[in-house]
Amino acid sequence: MTSKTRAGRPVARRCGGRGSRVGGLTLATIILATLAVGCSAVPSPTATAGSTAAISAGPTGPNPNATPWPIEVVESSIALGAADGGFAVMTDDLASAVNSGEPARILDVIGRVIPFLQENQKNIPRLQAYAFTKAVGDRLAAAYQQMIDGAIQIQNSLKSGDGAAVTAGFSAFFAGNTAYGDVRSALGDVASQAVFMKKGLLK
């Protein structure tokens, strides 16, 4: 994923408020630099909301036949895998909003990002509570929480006009986004195994 900046053109206007210029750079420039780093660190998702199995699965992990998982772990793994496809849309929407230079548009996107992440986050504790999926669940929990905390900081700081805090929020958000990118392969393995198990349960 890449942001849609154009060479030779300002990417966004200042968001306004104190701290909106740091070290001679506009807030938007700093945010877009963070955005570019965050996006490049996360591979483009291959799954869609209805196609969890499209996430690549590795050879690691417990054998689904030998170790059937509790149904709530299966369902939560599938849900988190399906949600992976929404990350590309989320990041692209956020990049477009930042490029627009309109704080109201950024707020609108962030207002949709937060519930998207919080709704998916509800599935993570089930993975953390099960031995075979705990490691993946713990990594997802940390990544999701960092993204949510960053997004909430962006939202609150834009409303208060604190440009420096907005930049810090974006930094936190994309650090979490990068951490999520690092766990995507393991999540894909877990989600694919869960799909396999669910098919077996439905027979």
Q: 67 is written with which tokens?
A: 């170790």
Prediction pTM value: 0.70
Tens digits of residue pLDDT in 164-194: 999 999 999 999 999 999 999 999 999 999 9
Phi-psi region of 23 (alpha: psi -120 to 50; beta: other; left: phi over 0): left
Contacts 24+ apart (CB under 8 A), 120-125: 120/79, 120/80, 120/83, 120/144, 121/145, 121/148, 123/75, 123/76, 123/77, 123/79, 123/80, 124/76, 124/80
Q: List the single range of 49-63, 128-142, 163-177 with lowest mean pLDDT.
A: 49-63
Helix (H) or strand (E) holding 80: helix 71-83
If pLDDT is split at 50, 70 and 90, which confidence band does 53 have?
Answer: very low
**Which domains does the chain carry?**
21-41+69-202 (1.20.120)
Query: In this predicted model, which residue has the larger pLDDT, 39 or 117?
Result: 117
